[in-house]
């Protein structure tokens, strides 16, 4: 892979910890390129108090922001997450301390996977690698071909509305995160052009399509960045996914005429598509940022919306006794739950969900 370094700190200099990280990255065979080149990932060196965003050249260019401070502060998780959003990073590290003593490292992802560790450049690169080497499937090709009669009810969409409200009652449904709190309009527009993201809202639901007439793998799913406790219906915040074009790396989505041109299906659509395509008995899928004890788990912290995460989940489902009725842990992230129908999933998880996701190093 290739990488470049972007410095936005006041001093304009690289901290010694970052220099040691760069040497480690180059030692394992990755090459630093000049700022004008497109790279696989960017080390964005920021001030934690005033983090600046790096404007990516394309959607596959990942950004890992790094801040160095003299000592840890209270509530490092919240501080790091705010800086991650402001710097539009795929991952953020804060290194606290100096060469005189042990340096404490804190890392966080957009899925709020938070880790604490004693700084070591080899270990830090190991944490980065699943993020910087993964491949997003975030683009949607929108087809305004969803023809539904006035007042026609689609049972799958109605069930998603009902059961999404239950997620709030279970305490695992944070409110949508408005990016406008931290980013100006220009940066939000830039983010949308690259990733088609206009907000953050964790968790999603989908139900296999069995009523609306289509032959291939199709399913109804919640849209990206919407309030799942107050869904409004088809073509608004519940969309029909009707395919995946691997060559163009985009999901195909059907919407009714007059749709919101900025609407996009959840970033986890590729994971749901691969599950439905592989396991015909799966009728519904729920993803939440919560945990269930004793479940099998991915061994890497892959980002939401990547082929790698989807392929890992499918591989783990193959190992379960019954893939149609299983719970798969996503390391430092949450769980994906399959069921023959949506009611079955909620009957199984009631009383079993833990709100806090355990963090594994």
Same domain, 175 and 286: yes
The mean per-residue pLDDT over the stretch 70-81 comes to 87
Same domain, 96 and 175: no
Same domain, 316 and 247: yes
pLDDT of residue 174: 60
**Residue 85 located in a structural domain:** yes
The CA distance from 168 to 230, in Å, is 10
**Residue 45 located in a structural domain:** yes
Q: DSSP readout, 110-137?
A: TT--EEEEE--HHHHHHHHHHHHT--B-
Same domain, 116 and 169: no
The domain containing residue 324 runs over which residues? 139-349
Same domain, 84 and 227: no
Global pTM reads: 0.88
**Residue 188 located in a structural domain:** yes
Higher pLDDT among residues 334 and 359, named by residue: 334
The mean per-residue pLDDT over the stretch 41-47 comes to 95
pLDDT of residue 58: 80
Total Cβ atoms within 10 A of residue 140: 20
**Domain closes at, from 132, 152, 181:** 132
Distance (Å) of CA 195 to CA 187, 265, 277 = 12, 12, 24
Same domain, 333 and 306: yes
Same domain, 224 and 246: yes
Same domain, 120 and 160: no
Looking at the chain, the whole-number percentage of residues with pLDDT higher than 70 is 89
CATH number, domain with residue 156:
3.40.225.10
pLDDT tens digits, 84-119 = 888 889 899 999 987 666 899 999 888 778 889 999
Greatest Cα-to-Cα distance within the chain, rounded to the nearest angstrom? 71
Query: Which range, of 142-156, 166-180, 237-251, averages the lowest pLDDT?
Result: 166-180
Strand order in the sheet with 219-222: 139-143, 250-254, 238-245, 219-222, 204-208, 284-288, 334-339, 327-330, 296-297
Higher pLDDT among residues 169 and 7, named by residue: 7
Instruction: Please count the structural domains in the chain.
Output: 2
Work out the burial of residue 319: count CB atoms within 10 Å of its CB; fewer than 13 is exposed, 13-18 middle, 19 or more buried: exposed
Q: DSSP readout, 270-328?
A: HHHHHHHHH-TT--EEEEES-B-TT-EE-SS-PPTTBHHHHHHHHHHHHHSS-TTS-EE
Higher pLDDT among residues 11 and 269, named by residue: 269
Same domain, 74 and 181: no
236 closest CA partner among 219, 216, 220, 215: 220
**Residue 360 located in a structural domain:** no
The CA distance from 242 to 49, in Å, is 44
pLDDT tens digits, 275-334 = 999 999 999 999 988 899 999 999 888 888 899 999 999 999 999 999 999 999 998 888
Q: Are 253 and 140 in contact (CB under 8 A)?
A: yes
pLDDT tens digits, 150-182 = 667 789 999 999 999 888 888 776 654 455 565
**Domain closes at, from 132, 153, 177:** 132
> Around 137, how many Cα atoms within 13 Å sit in the side-chain half-sphere?
27
∠345-275-302 over CA atoms, to 5°? 100
Higher pLDDT among residues 97 and 141, named by residue: 141
pLDDT of residue 25: 96
**Domain closes at, from 107, 132, 157:** 132
Higher pLDDT among residues 98 and 233, named by residue: 233
Same domain, 83 and 162: no
Same domain, 161 and 100: no
**Residue 358 located in a structural domain:** no
Higher pLDDT among residues 174 and 265, named by residue: 265
Same domain, 200 and 106: no
Looking at the chain, the whole-number percentage of residues with pLDDT higher than 90 is 51
The CA distance from 230 to 103, in Å, is 44
Distance (Å) of CA 153 to CA 42, 162, 212, 279 = 47, 13, 10, 27
**Mean pLDDT across the chain:** 87
Segments in 28-176 forming alpha helices (H): 76-86, 121-132, 155-169
**Residue 359 located in a structural domain:** no
């Amino acid at each position: 892979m290739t990488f470049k370094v972007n410095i936005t700190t006041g001093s304009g200099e690289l901290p010694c910890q970052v220099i040691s990280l760069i040497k480690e990255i180059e030692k394992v065979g990755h090459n630093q390129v000049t700022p004008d080149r497109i790279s696989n990932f960017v080390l964005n060196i920021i001030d934690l108090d005033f983090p600046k965003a790096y404007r990516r050249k394309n959607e596959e260019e990942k950004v890992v922001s790094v801040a160095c401070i003299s000592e840890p502060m209270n509530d490092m998780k919240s501080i790091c997450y705010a800086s991650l959003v402001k710097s539009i990073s795929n991952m953020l590290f804060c290194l606290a301390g100096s060469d005189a003593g042990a340096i404490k490292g804190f890392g966080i992802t957009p899925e709020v996977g938070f880790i604490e560790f004693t700084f070591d450049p080899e270990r830090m690169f190991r944490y980065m690698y699943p993020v910087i080497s993964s491949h997003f499937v975030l683009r949607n090709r929108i087809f305004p071909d969803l023809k539904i009669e006035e007042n026609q009810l689609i049972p799958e969409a109605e069930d998603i509305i009902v059961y999404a409200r239950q997620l709030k009652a279970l305490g695992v449904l944070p409110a949508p995160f408005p990016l406008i709190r931290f980013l100006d309009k220009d940066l939000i527009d830039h983010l949308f052009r690259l990733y088609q993201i206009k907000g953050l809202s964790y968790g999603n639901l989908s139900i296999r399509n069995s009523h609306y007439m289509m032959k291939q793998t199709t399913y109804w799913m919640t849209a990206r960045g919407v309030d799942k406790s107050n869904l409004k219906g088809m073509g608004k915040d519940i969309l029909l996914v009707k395919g995946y074009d691997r060559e163009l790396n985009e999901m195909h989505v059907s919407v009714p005429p007059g749709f919101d041109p900025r609407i996009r299906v959840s970033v986890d659509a590729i994971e749901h598509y691969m599950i439905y395509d592989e396991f015909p008995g799966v009728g519904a899928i729920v993803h939440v940022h919560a945990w269930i004890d004793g479940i099998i788990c991915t061994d890497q912290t892959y980002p939401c919306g990547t082929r790698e995460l989807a392929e890992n989940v499918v591989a783990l489902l193959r190992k379960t006794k019954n893939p149609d009725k299983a719970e798969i842990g996503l390391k430092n992230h949450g769980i994906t739950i399959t069921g023959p129908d949506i009611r079955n999933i909620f009957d199984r998880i009631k009383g079993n969900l833990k709100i806090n996701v355990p963090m594994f190093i």
